[in-house]
């Protein structure tokens, strides 16, 4: 692959009272009226991740047409898995329903433990209506085999089977006395998109301090193809040698994957908005062209940008 970078789509500002900063984790949906809807999360004035969307021209997504009028989902009640943050992660159309899988956020105090806990939730839209939460509790959370957290699902439907690839925390390590999570990508299957059977590791870390995050999977030419973000655990917030970059893997069955990071075809810029990190990719095809949306520096602080696959 070879991607042609096109620049920023959106840089977060403070034009709304529910927006302080960040534009985190874009999720793409081509709507019936030929628009591209990009779901993402901003941080509100209390620092909580708040799910919103913008609509734009799918051929030139920097041409923004409209914004949602505030959050598309409310925070959960006190003590719920999503009481302090919601991040959109994956959207699936199933007939007249749209299934929005999201990440629920609970903060923790890093001075006495780890800094957060994450789980996977679901919201459903019927016949084009607004999204409402499927349940107050998560669809997937830590269990006896995954004791830390799971998050950032990508879900697709293949025939009658639903497939999910999600991030599973394998532990926390102390770096300069601060807890940092490490994680890999695991696979699950379902008959209805709600109850899930976990199938184990899909893409594993290459060393003890590597973390592999937020997969995006599509099926093309007989192969499952995955973009993901990967980083080291030391200095990754500011050091471009250790920070997030985009990786790539392929699979014939969706379970056993081969990492091909050197074939991803896109890398950090020498300067500018994506010169320190690239992460949280999403993709769509419009008029025969494949587009790639992603975050850059600061985990969405610098905004959402895009690239187009060079077919030449």
Strand ranges, E, within 176-312: 178-190, 197-203, 211-220, 223-231, 245-251, 258-259, 279-286, 289-295, 304-309
**Mean pLDDT of all residues in 241-262:** 97
Looking at residue 81, the DSSP 8-state letter turns out to be T
For 6-53, how does the pLDDT look when each residue is reduced to its tens digit (9 = 90+)? 999 999 876 666 677 889 999 999 998 899 999 999 988 888 899 999
Is residue 125 very low, low, confident or very high in pLDDT (cuts 50, 70, 90)? Answer: very high
Query: Chain-wide mean pLDDT for the chain?
Result: 95
Give the residue, 213 or 112, on which the prediction is more confident: 213
Q: What is the pLDDT of residues 222-235, one digit of tens each?
A: 999 999 999 999 99
Buried b (16+ CB within 10 A) or exposed e, 164-203: bbbbbbbebeeeeeebbbbbbbbbbebeebeebebeeebb
Give this prediction's pTM. Answer: 0.96
Q: What is the mean pLDDT of residues 177-204?
A: 97
- 144 contact partners, CB below 8 Å, separation of at least 6: none
Pairwise CA distance, residues 156 & 15, whole Å: 34
Q: What is the pLDDT of residue 109?
A: 72
Report how far residue 285's alpha carbon sits from residue 265's, in angstroms, rounded to the nearest whole number: 17
Architecture of domain 3-309: 5 Propeller (2.115)
**284 pLDDT higher than 70:** yes
Q: Backbone phi, then psi, for 227, in 5-degree steps?
A: -100, 145
Instruction: Answer for the pair 22, 301: CB distance below 8 angstroms, yes or no.
Output: yes
């Amino acid at each position: 692959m070879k991607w042609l970078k096109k620049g920023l789509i959106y840089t977060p500002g403070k034009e709304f009272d529910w927006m302080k900063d960040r534009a985190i984790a874009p999720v793409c949906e081509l709507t019936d009226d030929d628009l591209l809807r990009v779901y993402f999360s901003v941080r509100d004035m209390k620092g909580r991740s708040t799910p919103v969307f913008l609509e734009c021209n799918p051929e030139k997504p920097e041409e923004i047409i409209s914004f949602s009028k505030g959050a598309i989902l409310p925070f959960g009640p006190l003590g719920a898995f999503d009481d302090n943050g919601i991040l959109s992660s994956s959207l699936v159309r199933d007939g007249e329903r749209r299934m929005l899988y999201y990440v629920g956020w609970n903060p923790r105090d890093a001075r006495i433990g780890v800094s957060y806990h994450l789980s996977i939730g679901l919201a459903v839209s019927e016949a084009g209506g607004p999204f409402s939460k499927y349940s107050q509790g998560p669809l997937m959370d830590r269990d006896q085999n995954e004791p830390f957290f799971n998050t950032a699902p990508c879900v697709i439907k293949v025939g009658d089977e639903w497939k999910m690839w999600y991030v599973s925390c394998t532990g926390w390590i102390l770096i300069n006395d601060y807890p940092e999570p490490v994680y890999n990508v695991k696979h699950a299957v379902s008959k209805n998109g709600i109850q899930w059977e976990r199938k184990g590791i899909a893409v594993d870390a290459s060393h003890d301090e590597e973390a592999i995050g937020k997969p995006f999977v599509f099926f093309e030419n007989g192969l499952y193809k995955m973009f993901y973000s990967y980083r080291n655990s030391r200095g990754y917030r500011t050091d471009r040698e250790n920070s997030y970059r985009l990786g790539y893997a392929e699979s014939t069955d969706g379970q056993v994957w081969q990492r091909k990071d050197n074939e991803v075809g896109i890398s950090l810029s020498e300067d500018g908005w994506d010169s320190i990190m690239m992460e949280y990719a999403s993709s769509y095809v419009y008029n025969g062209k494949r587009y790639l949306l992603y975050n850059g520096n600061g985990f969405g602080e610098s905004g959402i940008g895009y690239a187009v696959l060079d077919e030449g």
